[in-house]
Structure 1
Amino acid sequence: MKQSRVDFTKVDAALLPTIILVGRPNVGKSALFNRLIRRREALVYNTPGDHVTRDIREGVAKLGDLRFRVLDSAGLETAATSGSILARTVDMTGNVLVRSQFAIFLIDVRDGLQPLDLEVGQWLRKHASGIHTIVAMNKSESLDEHGVLTSAAGEAHRLGFGDPVAISAETGLGMAELYQTLRPLFEEYMFQLPNNGLNQDDPTSEAEANEGDESKLPLQLAIVGRPNVGKSTLLNALLQEQRVLVGPESGLTRDSIRAKFQFDNRTVYLVDTAGWMERAGKEKGPSSLSVVQSRKNLMRAHIVALVLDAEKVLSLIQLYTSLRPKVLAIVCSLLSG
C-alpha cells in the first residue's frame, strides 16, 4: 500500500478532510463508522422497519496512514412526511453537508440497486453538488469477485458517481481499495490548504501539551435524565447547532452522542445519553443497547449533569407541601395513640 505524501498525524484536527456517510436505512453506515474510528461507538442493530441512527455522530477516522473526520448520519428517506422524525433527520443531514468535503454513499449490494438508492442519489446531486461522492457497495463479503459482484458494480454505475468500491464494514473487506480511492483526493484537498493544515506551532496532542496541568485537561461531561426532559435541546444549545434530533416524541435519542465543546479555554466532551427509562432491564433491541451505552458513558464521565423537568419537580414540591400537614397530623396521631 503506497503511503500518503501528507503526514496526517501532524494536521490540525479542525482542518482534516471530512467525510459524511449517507444512504438509505440499514445499509451499514454505522458499522462503517465504527470500523473507521476503530471502536464500537455507534449502535448497530438490524431493524428493517426502523432507524437506529437518528442523530449526527462525529469521530476521527484512521485508515492506514490517513486521518480524517467522519460523520455518521441517519438513513435517508426523501419521501418522508413533512414534520415526521424521518423528515427531520433528512433536514439535519442536509444542514451538516456544509461541513463535509466528501461523501461515501453506501448501498447494500445484496439487495441490488433499490428505488430509494436512486432517490438518495438524486438528493445528493441536489443538496451536495460541491461534495465529491464515492459509492461503496457494502456487505460484499458474500458475493464472488468476478460474477455477481461485477454485475452489481455495473448496476451501481447508474447512480452517476463513478466507479464503486466493494467493501464490507463488518469484516473489513475492501478497506485497502477504499484507502487507494481516498488517498489522492485527501492529498489534493490538503495541498490546497495553507501550510497543508500542519499544526507547526505545537504538533503535540492536547493531552500531551497539558500534561501535569489538571486544570487544562479535557473534561468528559455526560448529560443524563429521563426521556423528554431536554437533554438534547441542552446539547444543541451549547454547540449552537442542530447536532441531535429534538421533538415531542419519547425516546428520540438512541445513540449516546459525543461532541467537542470549548469553555473558558478548556476542552469539554459533551455526551448526550438516551433517556433513562423505568424498568430498563426488560427493554429489548435498540433500547437495551442504548441503556448499556449510557451506563458506559456514565462510568467514563468526570461530571454528570442531571437534567430535570422543572414543571414536574414543581408539581412534586406543591404536592408535598399540600400533603405535609395531613401527613404530620397522621404521624402525630399514631404516635400519641
Structure 2
Amino acid sequence: MVDTAGWLHRTKQDRGAASLSIMQTRKNLMRAHIVALVLDAEEIAKDGRSMKHDEVVIARRAVEEGLGLIVIVNKMDLLKGKLYERVIKAVPEEIQTVIPQVTGIPVVFVSALEGKGRTAVMRQVIDTYETWCLRLSIACLNHWLRKVMSRHSWKDQAAQPKVKYFTQVKARPPTFVAFVSSKAKLSDTDLRFLTRSLKEDFNLGGIPIRIMQRSVARSAGVSSGTSKSSQPTGKLVERVVSDKRTILTEAT
C-alpha cells in the first residue's frame, strides 16, 4: 500500500524534491493493482461537483492502464442532513458520467477523523482485487455466450456475425478473445454489448474489461489441388478493443 497524498498540490512544481516526488508517485500508480482515489466530501459539497479535472485524469489513467479503481469520499462527518444525502446520491452518478468506460465503480463514504468506514474500505479493496484477478472457464463463457447472443438485437439478421467461441486469455485485468467467422466481424456496438453483458452477468463492475476479436479471412481464390478439409488461407486479422484504445493489426 502506497500513500500518494499531495500529488495534486505539487503538480505545478517543476524542480527539486517535489518534482522527484511526483515522478515517484506516477511510477507507483503504474505498479499498483488497485487504485483508491480519495475525494474530499466538504469540497464536493462546496463546489457542487464530485471530481476536479486532475482527479478525473488520475481515474482515467488508472482505467487505461487496466487497474482496479475504487473511490473513497472522506470527511463525511462534516456533512449533515440533506447535504449528506445529496452527496451520497450524486457522487456515484457523476463518477459514472465522467468515467463511462467502467461501470459500477465502487464508492465508499468514510470519516477518517471518527474512524468510520475503515473496514469497508479494506473489504472493498480485497473484493475489487479478487474480481480483477478473476478467471472464467471456457465452458462457462461459451454457455454464457449462447444465451447473450440470442438476446442481442442485431440490425441485420442475415449479416449476424458467427462467434465460434469465447475464451479468457488473461486476468489482471480480465481479457477475452472472441473467435469470429471470416464472413463478418463484430461491430463496436456488438463489442460494447458483450462488455456490458460480461460485467452484469459475472459481477465485474469497477474494473476494466478488454475484448479481442480474431477472425481468419479466406483468400479470393483456392487452387484446384487444395482439399476441402485443408485450413483456409489468407490473413489473420486481429482487432483489439480495450478501455484504452482500439488497435488493428494484420499478420500475413
Which range, TM-score by smaller chain?
0.3 to 0.5
TM-score in terms of structure 1 length: 0.31
